[in-house]
Chains A and B, each alone.
Chain A
Amino acid sequence: MTSFRVAMASVFVFPALLSIGAACVLGGALAGWNPLWREPELTMSEAAALKDRATMQRLISKGVDPNVPASVRAGILKSRDIVVTPLEAPVGTRTPTAMQFLLARGARMDDRERAILFCLADLVGVTVALAAYASGYGFSVRNTDELAALFGDAPWKFYVYNIVCAALTVLLSEPRGGRVPVHAFRHRG
Chain B
Amino acid sequence: MFRFTRFATEGDIPAWSIVNVAVSTIGTVLIAIAIGRRIGRWKRWTFERDDTFLVLFVAVLAANSAISYPYLKEVVMSPAGMFYAAALFIAVRDVLQSVRRHPSARVAWLAVPLLVISTGWTLRAATLVESLRASAFVNRNDWAVAEDREDAVRPQWRSRHPDAERLVRQLRREVVDMPVPQPFTMPRWTRTWIDPY
Pick from B20, B69, B96: contact of A159, CB below 8 A: B69
Q: Verify if A184 is at the interface (C-beta below 8 Å from B).
A: no
Most chain B CB inside 10 Å of its own CB: which residue of A7, A9, A10, A52 = A7
| A87 interfacial by beta-carbon distance below 8 Å | no
B-chain residues with CB within 8 Å of residue A178 when the two chains form the complex: 1, 68, 71-74
B residues in contact with A57, CB < 8 Å:
144, 172, 176
A132-148 contact mask (Cβ, 8 Å, vs B): 1 or 0: 00011111110000000
Q: Does B65 sit at the interface, judged by CB under 8 A?
A: yes
Cβ of B95 within 8 Å of any chain A Cβ, yes or no, is yes
A12 touches B118 (CB 8 A): yes
Binds A, one of B2-10, B38-46, B48-56, B156-164: B2-10
- Interface assignment of B126: CB less than 8 Å from any CB of chain A: yes
Q: How does the 8 Å CB contact mask read for B57-97 relative to A, with 1 for contact and 0 for none?
A: 00001101110111111101100110010000000100110
Residues of chain A lying within 8 A (CB to CB) of residue B181: 36-39
Question: In the assembly, what is the distance between CA of A10 and CA of B122, in Å?
Answer: 12
Indicate which residue in B61, B66, B145 contacts A101 across the interface (CB closer than 8 Å).
Answer: B145
Residues 121-152 of chain B: 1 if any A CB is under 8 Å from the residue's CB, otherwise 0?
11001100100010001001101110010000
- Flag if B72 contacts A166 (CB, 8 Å): yes
Q: How many of chain A's residues touch chain B, expressed as a range?
A: 35 or more
Specify the chain A residue showing the minimal Cβ separation from B57.
A170
Beta-carbon contact of B71 and A162 below 8 Å: yes
B170 at interface (Cβ–Cβ under 8 A)? no
- Residue among A40, A75, A175 with the most chain B CB within 10 A? A175
The prevalent SS among residues of B at the interface is: helix
Quick check: is A31 within 8 A (CB to CB) of the other chain? no
| A172 adjacent to B3 (CB under 8 Å) | no
Q: Is the C-beta of B21 less than 8 angstroms from some C-beta in chain A?
A: yes
Would you call B179 an interface residue if the criterion is a C-beta within 8 Å of the partner chain's C-beta atoms?
yes
Determine the distance from Cα of A75 to Cα of B111 in the docked complex, in whole angstroms.
44
**Residue numbers in A under 8 Å from B77 (CB-CB):** 166, 169-170
Residues of B within 8 A of A (CB): 1-6, 9, 20-21, 23-25, 28, 61-62, 64-66, 68-74, 76-77, 80-81, 84, 92, 95-96, 99-100, 103-105, 107-108, 110-112, 114-115, 118-119, 121-122, 125-126, 129, 133, 137, 140-141, 143-145, 148, 172-173, 175-177, 179-185, 197
